[in-house]
């Protein structure tokens, strides 16, 4: 371990965190209606006033998390509360059992409801984190309700919106990697902020971990399959069944590592190392560098048009998972991957002139034109989460040396 190199990396990470947070506080927060706008171009100019409900929850969580990590700051708490208040006032479909919308207008009129229940997950995470910082009991109750709703929907509860599954169940049903892994992340947060229900959360976290390894981890294919049959059977005759998302594998890896650390299940670390290696073998672009978005587990053409793009969030997940694996195992190969990925991000994603990272690169590492810093799916979440987590882990490692 090169202490000087780690110190240099930490200095850069902290600088990027300041730039990222300043970018969103300056350009994204809505002083009129509340909440956050995320469709911002390179310079932070607004190009769409519709609001992502995912991002209201994610932004609320991120600024509360920063208060947890670095201590409360008035502007961070205000940003978090603004998004929470906007969610409560405009984003819940109370006629459909408290489901949340996917997008709303700038002033909060509903636009789109999706069958997926990730809006509920980010709402629960945000309320739980804000409660952890402020002790606001109303937020704790909201977090619990949304968490339980997510769990019930993921385990067969009829969707109160009336939206059906993605495919006709008479023809095809199955499982997706997203629900258990997002639930694990949400549960990890609630384990930390809501110890009163620890027994419930520990039981559900263990169930999520079991589902990941029982249904989605495929030793014979050396990958984590995103979509499988009801009993985890691969569907290799259709494109959807062969999807590998390396970024999701890296994100899932560190969710599992967090669980392994808090639960004491150290045997999971070796299994996570395997998932990391598979994802890197499948997704790292040896020609141009960076991580491919989707790959086909059998090497066929992926169906998604964007499969060979390079996205900000997948690289953020490599940085977290590689450094976490180095911290937990001491194996230099993971530190090598951390620095290799960091070097790629410095060259291709970072934008010192305006702050924040580009969201979307072509395969050759050039930003899409015109470049953007935010969208319906990109806001103040992956970056402040990664930068603050990496900052903390680098601090731990430097303290050891």
At a CB cut-off of 8 Å and minimum separation 6, what does 198 contact? 191
Nearest to 377 by CA among 322, 318, 321, 314: 314
Q: What is the CATH number of the domain that holds 222?
A: 1.50.10.10
From residue 393, how far is each of 34, 64, 160, 238, 320 by CA, in Å? 33, 19, 42, 41, 9
SS3 assignment, position 29: strand
pLDDT for the residue numbered 128? 98
In a domain, 208, yes or no: yes
Residue 32 lies in a domain: no
Question: Taking all residues of the chain, what is their mean pLDDT, rounded to a whole number?
Answer: 97
Q: How many domains does the chain have?
A: 1
Residue 7 lies in a domain: no
CA nearest neighbour of 350 among 307, 383, 395: 383
pLDDT of residue 168: 87
Element (H, E) at 302: none
Domain around 293: 174-347
Q: What is the DSSP string of 325-392?
A: HHHHH--HHHHHHHHHHHHHHHHHTB-TTT-SB-SEE-TTSPBPSS-BS--SS-SSSHHHHHHHHHHH
Query: 129 in a domain, yes or no?
Result: no
Residue 164 confidence (pLDDT):
85
Asked whether residue 229 is domain-assigned, the answer is yes
Distance, in Å, from the CA atom of 70 to the CA atom of 80, rounded to the nearest integer, reads: 15
Q: Is residue 142 part of a domain?
A: no
In a domain, 366, yes or no: no
All residue ranges of the chain with pLDDT < 70 are none
- pLDDT tens, 361-382? 999 999 999 999 999 999 999 9
User: Could you give the angle at the alpha carbon of 313 between the alpha carbons of 70 and 252, nearest 5°?
Assistant: 85
For residue 394, being part of any structural domain is answered with no
**Predicted pLDDT of residue 401:** 74
């Amino acid at each position: 371990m090169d202490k000087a190199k780690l110190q240099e990396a930490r200095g850069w990470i902290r600088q990027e965190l300041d730039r990222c947070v300043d970018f969103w506080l300056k350009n994204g927060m809505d002083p009129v209606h509340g909440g956050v706008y995320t469709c911002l171009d390179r310079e932070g100019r607004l190009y769409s006033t519709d609001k992502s409900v995912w991002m209201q929850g994610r932004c609320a969580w991120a600024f509360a998390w920063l208060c947890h990590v670095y201590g409360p700051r008035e502007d961070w708490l205000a940003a978090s509360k603004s998004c929470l208040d906007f969610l409560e006032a405009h984003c819940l479909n109370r006629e459909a059992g408290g489901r949340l919308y996917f997008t709303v207008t700038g002033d909060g009129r509903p636009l789109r409801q999706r069958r997926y229940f990730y809006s509920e997950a980010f709402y629960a995470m945000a309320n739980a984190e804000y409660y952890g910082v402020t002790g606001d009991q109303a937020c704790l109750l909201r977090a619990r309700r949304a968490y339980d709703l997510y769990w019930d929907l993921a385990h067969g509860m009829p969707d109160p919106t009336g939206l059906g599954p993605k495919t006709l169940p008479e023809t095809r049903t199955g499982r997706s990697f997203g629900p258990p892994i997002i639930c694990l992340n949400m549960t990890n947060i609630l384990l930390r902020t809501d110890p009163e229900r620890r027994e419930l959360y520990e039981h559900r976290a263990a169930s999520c971990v079991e589902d990941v390894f029982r249904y989605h981890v495929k030793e014979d294919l050396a990958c984590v399959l995103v979509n499988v049959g009801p009993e985890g059977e691969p569907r290799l005759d259709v494109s959807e069944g062969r999807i590998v998302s390396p970024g999701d594998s890296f994100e899932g890896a560190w969710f599992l590592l967090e669980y392994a650390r808090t639960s004491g299940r150290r045997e999971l670390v070796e299994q996570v190392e395997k998932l990391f290696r598979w994802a890197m073998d499948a997704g790292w672009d040896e020609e141009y560098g960076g991580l491919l978005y989707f790959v086909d587990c059998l090497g066929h053409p992926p169906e998604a048009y964007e499969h060979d793009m390079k996205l900000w969030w997948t690289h953020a997940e490599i940085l977290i998972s590689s450094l976490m694996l180095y911290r937990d195992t001491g194996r230099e190969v993971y530190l090598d991957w951390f620095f290799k990925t960091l070097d790629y991000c410095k060259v291709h994603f970072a934008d010192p002139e305006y702050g924040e990272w580009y969201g979307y690169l072509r395969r050759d590492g050039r930003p899409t034109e015109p470049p953007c810093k935010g969208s319906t799916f990109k806001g103040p979440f992956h970056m402040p989460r990664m930068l603050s987590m990496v900052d903390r882990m680098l601090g731990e490692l430097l303290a050891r040396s």
